[in-house]
Structure 1
Amino acid sequence: MLQLVPARSRGRISRSRRARARMLERALAARRTLRRRALSGLGLLLTVLGVLVVADAVVTLLWQEPISALYAKARQDRLSGALRAEERAAPTALERRTLIKLPDQASRISFLASELEHRAREGSAVGRIRIPRIGISFVVVKGTSSADLRSGPGIFPETPFPGVAGTTAIAGHRTTYLAPFRHIDRLHAGNRILLRMPYARFTYTVTGKRVVAPTNVRAAIAEVGYSRLVLSACTPLFSAAKRLLVFARLTATAPLSGARSGARSPRAPLRAHAHRAARRPLGHPRRGRPS
């Protein structure tokens, strides 16, 4: 049986429905506003990220990759402290006894170079390279694995430390991790490369450059009958397709620390031909690829 609803009740129901409708409309409006704000924020975030990506690309193109540079800068600072400690450390008692028996500075330098190479860990600080022509100064580490080269230029494990006769090869990045070798393509014959090891200072003079395949390791580490330094880096920039090699001949050596002990009188810097030491066989351990 149909029941009649009083007019007053119908009015209350109508107002209630309108109130619920307004509440629903406000809720939907708030949701739409929230969605618009979220989309706006997302758009702003994507814009900022896009700008950062472009800025990173521009900085990398014109200078070097900035994110990896921060990591490498922190590593270089830490390695600088470790290198200073190594330079201040006196020879051990056993090393001193051996040094006293050696006849000349060249022999003492060669001995200390071999000792440092033997005890240094992979990735540890072993020296500093300076190239005035391109304005760089970096701590050099032992090894050329990917992890080693994130810290700085590294000495090839196939080659001896400076002071032992033969070829010393050093690899470094050109676009990442402070890009220590970015501008080695600007080096020309006659430019100097300075290496300071804890036991001696070495001066090399650039003699030439060469681009080789990345598999041609022998071009970088081959013996040539005199002591030399070879710098190796990827080329062209932003590519690992080739290797750029810079060759430099050892032209002077100045002993430091224990390398002077045992000498009866101060001596002038040694010339390159004064170094005499046995050469080592060439090997091909796995290395990282500088870029």
Structure 2
Amino acid sequence: MGRLSGYVRTGVTHPEEAPLLREAVTLLFDGKTEAEATRWLASRGMLTPRGNTFRREVLHRLLANPRLAGLDESGKPIEGWDERVLEPDVFHRLQKLFEERSEKRGKSRDAHHYLVTGGCALCDECAHSMVGSRAHAEAPPSYKCDDCGKTRINADRLEDFVVEHVLAELLKPGARQRLEKLECDIEAEVARLKEHIEGAAERDASIGDLYGRGLIVKAAFLAAQKASKEDVRVSKLRLKQLEQMTDLPIGDVHDLVAWWRTASHAAKKGLVLLEVEHVRVGRAQGSQDPEKRVLIDWRQPTS
């Protein structure tokens, strides 16, 4: 994991970045928007650890990270975290402010259920996931790269393109047999992940035993605990995604087009994720045509 803005290393604040972030938070408490706070940081020459100029979304994710206040995901103080960019009470006040502003923004937009989020849609520029987003409160839903931010595409345009090609694939000879094999692959991976997640407690106990017997130092013990927690988190996210792809009403593949018209969003998303490994989206470069910007990687059975 890379360095967190505001810190030189874990628990040690950056002498230049930390004061700037505290001042940016003060601006938010004084009624400034996140965009204004972002521009203020840029005017002070502050960059991300990767050397990029801060964007509003990047600043928001940073300020919503509990580690900025030396807290873990459950809100408890992290052992050995000696210095903090924000004090816990300030961090909690900030999260409440974010919630209040989010509620106000939410009233001006209709919800959109994105079809290829969760790691399916990728930016072809930097290979990172694309997320659901809107350019502003009144803008139509779109997808944008969650890392470089350079790639964006209208959600309806992308999803209509993907659905059209998925349904076309389902009409090809042998589609039903291929889907059944894919479901078997997914079910096998679901079983492996469940077993892996269930074994986390035993693995953590083994790590604790090694530390208790003095066979590993404290730093190694804490690092192993952290790695185990992250592994379980990623495994649970993957499991949740895979479980959307099982128990689909495949039946006669020719009926799926009619089924699609009345299926729930969850079922549609499950079928798309079963068929599609990734949807790679290129930058517009003067054309909004998905045929010129989008490439679908189809999921292939392992046997």
TM-score for both structures, normalised by structure 2:
0.23
Which structure dedicates a bigger proportion of its chain to helix? Answer: 2
Which structure dedicates a bigger proportion of its chain to strand? Answer: 1
Q: Which has the larger radius of gyration?
A: 1
